[in-house]
Amino acid sequence: MNSETIALIVSLLYGIPSFVLYALILFQMIRPKYRKTFSNAFFRLCFAIGVVDCLGYLGFYIFFTLPMYSITSPIFGSSLFAPSAFTTGISFTLFVLLFLQIIGNCFLTLNRFTAVVIPFRHDKIWRFFFPISVVVTIVVSIAMCWEASTATVLYSPLDGGYVLTQAIPNPGISFRILMTVFITCLLCLLLNAISAIFLVSCTSLHSVGKLERNFFFMALIIFMVQGIHGIHELLFFIGLSTENVSLVVIMNSMLPWLTDLKFLSPPWIFLIFSASIRRIVVQALPKRLSSTNTPVININANTYSSKTEQ
């Protein structure tokens, strides 16, 4: 096997199990018997971001990662993927999904901030603020990408494969992605720092328990993954601005791996830190398999939803 085939196999060995796990978690979360358990704002945000992550992974893998392999070049080099409204639509959709994830993760961090710092008003705030956060995320994401909806997009040959590019390079979108990632990461860093201080020094005052700490760590790790993406976007923008072809090529080659990590790391984070997620995953397994697993904390849905797992 050549290096290209090995890279494809490795990406699928991580991508397929992660995607299946993510899809399973999302499916279980909307089942009627688990509806009360996952009815709070935190899990509703996780579900919405999860849908974006799954669509983003499929979109980027099919239309960005696969074209980079020479074995798919006959497909993406065909007239089907010639510059058209179809390729423009692909590019626009991928940009929108990227912004949806970035901004959605910022609201996830904000949710944990209010749960830790002002837990006595957290429920009331998010009953009102959750629909607003969804609308703001969608509107801002589309507004950020409006130029991509009119750009001419094509698949350009690159190292035996193809890469999705604009006929006339527009650094404006890359700059907006960079600034959005930078601003959201800066805001999330500030919110996480304040939350961490409260968790360490104000536990007794605000009754911050293990549940809230686990959810905080979930949001924190997701933020750290987004920070890695931010560093990549910075280097990519520097490469475009300075016309450093080598740097742009290196960043392009890293993008598929970072995309997989960015879109598919949350289900593993949920599985590690959330007992309720572990429970629904185990209960989705065949009875023979689930009975042989290590016992998982059984959390009654009615009791669980009354706790501060917001």
Q: Which domains does the chain have, with CATH numbers?
A: 3-305 (1.20.1070.10)
Q: What is the pLDDT of residues 166-182, one digit of tens each?
A: 766 666 677 777 788 88
Q: What is the pLDDT of residues 87-103, one digit of tens each?
A: 999 999 999 999 999 99
Q: Is 70 exposed, middle or buried (0-12, 13-18, 19+ CB in 10 A)?
A: middle
The span from the CA of 242 to the CA of 233, in Å, is: 14
Local structure of residue 132 (DSSP, 8 states): H
Q: What is the pLDDT of residues 184-210, one digit of tens each?
A: 889 999 999 998 888 877 655 445 567
Least confident of 50-54, 122-126, 158-162, 285-289: 285-289
Positive or negative, the CA dihedral 270, 273, 277, 278 is positive
The answer to whether residues 107 and 132 touch, using CB atoms and an 8 Å cutoff, is no
Q: Is 134 exposed, middle or buried (0-12, 13-18, 19+ CB in 10 A)?
A: middle
Please, which contacts does 114-118 make with residues 24 or more away whose CB atoms are closer than 8 Å? 114/310, 115/42, 115/212, 115/215, 115/216, 115/308, 115/310, 116/195, 116/198, 116/199, 116/206, 116/208, 116/212, 116/216, 117/194, 117/195, 117/198, 117/206
**In one letter, which amino acid is 203?**
T
